[in-house]
Structure 1
Amino acid sequence: MDLSGTQQQPTINQGDSTFSKKKKKIFDASDHISSISFNDAATLLAEKIETVGVEISRSIASEVLIQQKSEMTIQESALKLYPTLYEVEGLTEDERYRALSKIPDHPTQMLIFFSLPSSVGLEWVRRFLADH
């Protein structure tokens, strides 16, 4: 048997070991740089997410205020509905009460009713009752 081939093998392993240590040292340095870059990127991303979160919160708050104002307008209109229906000449008592019970279920229609001139109120209420 020739043992010279087996003696070279440990020499190759020692060379690999030295190369591996150098490679690891280089890798450690680049890992540190990558770590700093990753941390910077993560910090920037966190700042952007926070900014977007604040903007979304403001937008939601604004929408809530708009919704609340709209609901207040509808509530105020509902409070004025009976007196206004009472002023519509030609409505029967039955039509007035049916309109009073149906119109608030249709807030947009109620707002339209209040925007109409009084001369078309009777016809509008009768058509509304026929359709609803």
Structure 2
Amino acid sequence: MLSGKNNSGFGWDEHRQLVVAEDAVWNSYINSHKEAAQFKHRSFPYYDQLTAIYAKDRATGKDAQTAADIIEEIDAEDVAITNTHEERNDFHGCEADVSLDDMDLSGTQQQPAINQGDSTFSKRKKKTSDASDHISSTSFNDAATLLAEKIETVGVEISRSIASEVLIQQRSEMTLQESALKLYPTLCEVEGLTKDERYRALSKIPDNPTQMLIFFSLPSSVRLGWVRRFLADH
């Protein structure tokens, strides 16, 4: 009401931190609201801070906020509460602007009002924390699901790779076995190779699979020289 246009004759004294109005306006209001009498001469040193904390929720509604707004609001409220406590200490050490004669000393509800505000803030912060925890839990579940899918995909690829390597190895072993079976007959076909050289080659060449594959890839005309060089090196 203090910041709006329709203020019913009330205003705000920024210097004294008071709600101000003509006596007739106050008296008319008090007649309808007896409990308002104690606030006629009472200052509200935390009005600006409370407005900064609660004005946004009153204007937009809590449910209208996004998760980012909630987290940002918590940070802003923490700073505002810290400033409030600091200013509260300063306020108790300062001389009041309003004289003791004008103050209604029987009203001692200022501290409970502050406690009520702290309680409300705690509830709002708990709700915000619950919302943040829910968001974090949802994000964690999504991340876990995505990670599981990635692991499954990688597992399938690894299985395929292993199967491919096993197949290649099996084919290679089959080729080597076939070559080993054909080695002796092929050595017998090499002209000029002695019986002793044949047996020595038969015992050494299978121990070197790569060399055996090379032997079978050579034309017949050069196999004699290749076998003799191989036996000299091995």
**TM-score normalised by the shorter chain: which range applies?**
0.7 to 0.9
- Once residues 7 and 112 of structure 1 are traced to their aligned partners in structure 2, the CA distance between those partners, rounded to angstroms, is 102
Q: State the Cα distance separating 1:106 from its structure 2 match.
A: 0.6
Bigger fraction of residues in helix: 1
Matches within 5 A, 1:56-75: 56-75=158-177
How many residues get paired? 132
The alignment partner of 1:104 has SS state of helix
- Once residues 117 and 52 of structure 1 are traced to their aligned partners in structure 2, the CA distance between those partners, rounded to angstroms, is 46
| Pair 123,42 (structure 1): closer, same or farther in 2 beyond 3 Å | same
Q: State the Cα distance separating 1:45 from its structure 2 match.
A: 1.1
| Pair 11,84 (structure 1): closer, same or farther in 2 beyond 3 Å | same
Deviations 1:12-46 (A, max 9, x none): 66654442222111010121122112111110110
Q: What TM-score, normalized to structure 2? A: 0.51
5+ residue gaps in structure 2? 1-102
Q: What TM-score, normalized to structure 1? A: 0.87
Q: State the Cα distance separating 1:57 from its structure 2 match.
A: 0.5
Moved over 2 A (4+): 1-21
Matches within 5 A, 1:46-61: 46-61=148-163
Higher mean C-alpha deviation, range 38-47 or range 77-86: 38-47
Q: Which residue of 2 aligns with 1:76?
A: 178
Which residue, 98, 115, 128 being the options, matches 2:217? Answer: 115
| Pair 3,74 (structure 1): closer, same or farther in 2 beyond 3 Å | farther
The alignment partner of 2:109 has SS state of helix
Higher mean C-alpha deviation, range 14-23 or range 79-88: 14-23
Deviations 1:59-112 (A, max 9, x none): 110011001100110010000000000111111111100000000011011001
Q: Which has the larger radius of gyration?
A: 2
5+ residue gaps in structure 1? none
Q: Name the Cα RMSD after superposition.
A: 3.4
- Once residues 179 and 137 of structure 2 are traced to their aligned partners in structure 1, the CA distance between those partners, rounded to angstroms, is 62
| Pair 130,2 (structure 1): closer, same or farther in 2 beyond 3 Å | farther
| Pair 80,21 (structure 1): closer, same or farther in 2 beyond 3 Å | same
- Once residues 53 and 15 of structure 1 are traced to their aligned partners in structure 2, the CA distance between those partners, rounded to angstroms, is 56
- Once residues 206 and 107 of structure 2 are traced to their aligned partners in structure 1, the CA distance between those partners, rounded to angstroms, is 99
| Pair 47,3 (structure 1): closer, same or farther in 2 beyond 3 Å | farther
- Once residues 65 and 59 of structure 1 are traced to their aligned partners in structure 2, the CA distance between those partners, rounded to angstroms, is 10
- Once residues 74 and 83 of structure 1 are traced to their aligned partners in structure 2, the CA distance between those partners, rounded to angstroms, is 15
| Pair 118,18 (structure 1): closer, same or farther in 2 beyond 3 Å | same
